[in-house]
Structure 1
Amino acid sequence: MADSVNKIAVLGRDNFDTWRIQIEAVLTKSDLWEYVDGSIVKPTQPEEEIRRWERQDRKARSELILAIKASELKQIKSCKTANELWIKLHSIFASKGPARTASLLKQLTQCRMKIGEDAREFVNNFFDLVDKLHELDIEINDKLLAILLLNSLPEEFENFRCAIESRDELPRTELLRIKILEESDSRIEKQQDGNNALISKHKIQQPKGNKPRKKCTKNTRNS
């Protein structure tokens, strides 16, 4: 069980949507999820069943706590059961109020791909933010999304960005996503070819082996 929890990223401010799917899968696998979602309620009798429920509920609560970032634990320290903890997490991280909307919009507009960052991971994170806003009934114009996505690319994509922006019309974001990934794959392939060429050139220039030098001997005259 501990190994499964260690495989998922701990819950922080920005990953509740993916975290809750993963933690549900982990707890379902260990037959603890129904204590978290409240399906299995605490029995009133017999005593043996009550103790068994409390033991399983503590396990479920512990697994949740171990999967939460340390800085967030103070917000759930008063929760006594796994279900109380789960409800509290939803109220904190899955809020549909203006604060969450503003936070997601800020993340989207400030999204920037770092030099050398995996393009697929970055693009997936970008559209994950778009999906989260969609869940909050926030729809962003496709052309605006395309501009935001282009502006999020690093300097090494400058020529690519200029080529796209010089068109009469911007491509739809789904097509732009594909083109960015193709451009990234092409760059990686060229870089690998260049590295291989340098390695080959280095091997060719290397001497096959140093020939042993002849020992110098001094001629001495008999006196």
Structure 2
Amino acid sequence: MSLSFQYPRLTKDNYDSWSIRVKAILGSQGAWEIVSDGFVEPDEDAALILIQKFEKDKKKDQHALSIIHQCLDDAVFEKVANASTSKEAWGILENSHKGVDKVKKVRLQILRGEFEALHQEASESISDYFTRVLSIVNQMKRNGESIEDVRVIEKILRSLHQKFDHVVVAIEENRDLENLSIDELNGSLRVHEERMNKHKKEPLEQVLLVKHSSAERGSAISRGRGRGQGRGYSHGGSRGHDRNQEVKRVDDEKPRGNP
């Protein structure tokens, strides 16, 4: 059974993630080196071994170029339609989407501002916040920023919601941030988050249990009153019936006068 492979498509907004995925695909085919370094065409007097190597590299290059073509839609393909090598096509795409150094610097400044402005929302989970932080960090790295893990860790600890203040103090006092990994911090904070959610959930369950018990007691009292009222009406009705019978007997026993 053969499975069809879906190549990632380049759009105007996804070049960074697209390039990472396509590099991995080209690498798995042993073709990324030819894309990044290119190859040199031998002169007429080159030895046979060099000519054979060139032919092999040329074939690998065309294979890489065909993979790049499959990752483009018709509009983007027009930009590289005249490129004869994979290196040339890759350079065109990189320059048109990622921009020259000046554009990269401007984009990096924007990302730095977004990084510094990061703060966890009150309803945002630790997992979601880490995803948001690391997304910006990865974009900064792809645009040339050298950012160490300890800087990311310090930023996360500074920007957590105030409900984690006691946890942050404990981590800063008891852990060496220089030797703490981002994954370890993530795991530690998620454990504390689960405990906090559990403590928050238990009082709510107790309140619901008390309300349920009160409702059951109220229902039982109402049923008891209903049964008592039923018995009272029954006895009253029986006594009224007996009195009517007694009056009737007295009337029957009275002497009747002459007509």
1:87 Cα deviation from its structure 2 partner: 9.5
1:188 Cα deviation from its structure 2 partner: 2.2
Is the contact made by 2:126 and 2:193 (CA closer than 8 Å) also made in structure 1? yes
TM normalised by structure 1 equals: 0.55
Is the contact made by 1:35 and 1:41 (CA closer than 8 Å) also made in structure 2? no
User: Which whole-Å CA distance do the structure 2 matches of 1:165 and 1:99 have between them?
Assistant: 34
Report the CA distance shift for 1:185/1:39 in structure 2 as closer, same or farther (over 3 A).
Answer: farther
TM normalised by structure 2 equals: 0.48
Q: RMSD over aligned Cα, in angstroms? A: 4.0
- After TM superposition, the structure 1 = structure 2 runs for residues 1-150 of structure 1, keeping only pairs within 5 Å, are 16-17=13-14, 34-38=73-77, 90=97, 97-150=104-157
Match of residue 203 from structure 2: 194
Report the CA distance shift for 1:176/1:168 in structure 2 as closer, same or farther (over 3 A).
Answer: closer
User: Which whole-Å CA distance do the structure 2 matches of 1:32 and 1:165 have between them?
Assistant: 46
Tell me, which stretches of 5 or more residues in structure 2 are unaligned?
A: 1-10, 19-69, 82-92, 234-259
Tell me, which stretches of 5 or more residues in structure 1 are unaligned?
A: 1-10, 22-30, 43-85, 218-223
User: Which whole-Å CA distance do the structure 2 matches of 1:40 and 1:122 have between them?
Assistant: 38
- After TM superposition, the structure 1 = structure 2 runs for residues 196-215 of structure 1, keeping only pairs within 5 Å, are 196-208=205-217, 209=219, 210-211=222-223, 212-213=225-226, 214=229
User: Which whole-Å CA distance do the structure 2 matches of 1:186 and 1:17 have between them?
Assistant: 38
Report the CA distance shift for 1:178/1:205 in structure 2 as closer, same or farther (over 3 A).
Answer: same
Structure number, greater radius of gyration: 2
Report the CA distance shift for 1:156/1:37 in structure 2 as closer, same or farther (over 3 A).
Answer: same
More helix by share: 2
Measured against aligned partners, the alpha-carbon deviations of 1:96-133 in whole angstroms (never above 9, x if no partner) come to 52221111111111100011212211110101111111
Is the contact made by 1:119 and 1:184 (CA closer than 8 Å) also made in structure 2? yes
User: Which whole-Å CA distance do the structure 1 matches of 2:182 and 2:202 have between them?
Assistant: 30
1:181 Cα deviation from its structure 2 partner: 2.0
